[in-house]
Amino acid sequence: MAKKVTKIGVMTSGGDSPGMNACIRAVVRTGIYHKLEVFGITRGYSGLIDNDIHKMESRSVANIIQRGGTILKTARCKEFLTPEGRKKAYNNLKKLGIDGLVIIGGDGSFKGAQVFSNEFNIPCIGIPGTIDKDIAGTDFTIGFDTAVNTAIEAIDKIRDTADAHDRLFIVEVMGRDSGYIALHSGIGTGAEHILIPERKTDIEAIITSLQEKEKRKKLVNIVIVAEGDDYGGGTDLANLIKERIPNFDIRVAILGHIQRGGSPTSIDRLIASRMGYSAVECLIEGKTNLMVGIMNNKMHFTPLDKAVKAKQKISDEWLKIVKILAT
């Protein structure tokens, strides 16, 4: 029979994403509702090692649901990759009597949680907090919807100025290994071309298409490119197109980290709240080494080892939609 959890820790790890605060709030208040002591761990695994851990009350998470970023801060921690670092982290938890962890983060955060849980028998529950939506086992990740809406708002404004000057704009969005932000924001703004890491870019087809549009005097074009595309992102792509079609007036807009910030959308607030609540329920029920997700509007639980091995894949249907709607 699983040991009863009495004290839990919550942390945010890896890249920040809008909605993390809403999730922290849900974990803290659900834990307190069930008479658990809840501790906030600052700066992720670095805070575990440095003992940067503090008790949280219901008022600790008042007025944060609408805020971007994370009140617990976040960091990447090389020391936690070592057995010595993890041992130090465990000793800090042991001193405080913390016997369960909720980790809000992405792929790397879950890998760390799985190793840590296996080594020291600490129940860990993962919550997918990443703007990239690249984790299998959930239809949503916290922050993705906000990031896409931020990109769409920016691209809509860029199209206005592109139209005024008859320009080709290449807009680079985040996504080193995942093209979901590019895909969704590109479809949502009617982009003429969308370049993503999951699909090899047919540069000749893009050049031919743009040349054909030039003949038709369609000089306003928006190309969305994920930063991890095989042609090196927005600037490199613009230079290549300029060489081949010198008459085009080309500008590059790199949206960068504005996609990480801002007040979370209603969708991100709701899924973060559901996931945070469900994570605490899992710990109380004695479950461990699981990622909490949502699939088909129902809570879905994936073993952490499967969540870190499998990537969310872009279906052929999405790619077909892009091809048809961009013609």
pTM of the model: 0.94
Do residues 288 and 248 share a domain?
Answer: no
Q: Does residue 150 share a domain with residue 86?
A: no
Which of 211, 213, 215, 235 has its CA nearest to residue 225?
235
Domain of 129, CATH number, reads 3.40.50.450
3-state secondary structure of 86: helix
Please report which residue ranges of 245-315 form alpha helices under DSSP H.
Answer: 266-284, 304-309
135 lies in some domain: yes
Q: How many domains does the chain have?
A: 2
The whole-number pLDDT of residue 312 equals 66
The last residue of one of the domains, among 242, 260, 278, is 260
pLDDT of residue 310: 64
pLDDT score for 266:
98
Residue 94 domain-assigned? yes
Residue 175: left (phi > 0), alpha (psi -120 to 50), or beta? left
Domain with 45 in it? 7-143+264-309
Distance of alpha carbon 252 from alpha carbon 165, whole angstroms:
14
The residue type of 314 is I
CA-closest candidate to residue 162, choices 189, 184, 139: 189
Looking up residue 223, the CATH number of its domain turns out to be: 3.40.50.460
Residue 322 included in any domain: no
**Within-domain flag for 316:** no
pLDDT of residue 160: 93
pLDDT at 64: 98
Give the pLDDT of the chain (327 residues) as one tens digit per residue.
456 899 999 999 999 999 999 999 999 999 999 999 999 999 999 999 999 999 999 999 999 999 999 999 998 899 999 999 999 999 999 999 999 999 999 988 999 999 999 999 999 999 999 999 989 899 999 999 999 999 999 999 999 999 999 889 999 999 988 999 999 999 999 999 999 988 888 899 899 988 888 777 766 889 999 999 888 889 999 999 999 999 889 999 999 999 999 999 999 999 999 999 999 999 999 999 999 999 999 999 999 988 776 666 777 888 788 778 866
Same domain, 124 and 271: yes
187 in the same domain as 235: yes
CB neighbour class for 38 (10 Å; exposed up to 12, middle 13-18, buried from 19): buried
Q: Does residue 226 share a domain with residue 297?
A: no
- From residue 38, alpha-carbon distances to 107, 111, 126, 188, 273 in Å are 24, 23, 16, 40, 16
The predicted structure's pLDDT at residue 1: 43
Task: Give the count of beta carbons closer than 10 Å to the beta carbon of residue 115.
Answer: 16
How far apart CA 146 and CA 127 sit, in angstroms, is 17
**One domain, residues 226 and 121:** no
Say if residue 89 is in the same domain as residue 198. Answer: no
Residue 15: what are its φ and ψ, rounded to 5°? -70, 140
Which helix (H) or strand (E) segment is 54 a member of? Answer: strand 53-56
For residues 149 and 94, membership in a common domain is answered with: no
Whether residues 21 and 100 share a domain: the answer is yes
Q: Residue 195, Cα to own-chain centre: how many angstroms? A: 19
CA distances from 120 to 1, 41, 89, 90, 318 (A): 17, 18, 10, 7, 42
Contact 231, 201 (CB under 8 A): yes
Instruction: Give the end of a domain, one of 244, 260, 276.
Output: 260
DSSP states of 208-247: HHHHHHHHTT---EEEEEETTSTT-SHHHHHHHHHHH-TT
- Of these residues, 16, 99, 132, 145, which one is catalytic? 132
Inside any domain, residue 34 = yes
Helix-helix angle 180-189:316-325, to 10 degrees: 30
In sequence order, the 6+-apart residues with CB closer than 8 A to the CB of 296 are: 139
Asked whether residue 11 falls in the same domain as residue 135, the answer is yes
| Catalytic (active site) residue 230 | no
Domain check: are 182 and 111 in the same one? no
Domain membership flag for residue 101: yes
Based on the fold, state whether residues 214 and 279 are members of the same structural domain.
no
- Furthest-apart CA atoms within the chain: distance in Å: 73
Flag whether 89 is in a domain. Answer: yes
Q: For residue 157, tell me if it sits in a domain.
A: yes
Query: What per-residue confidence (pLDDT) applies to 201?
Result: 85
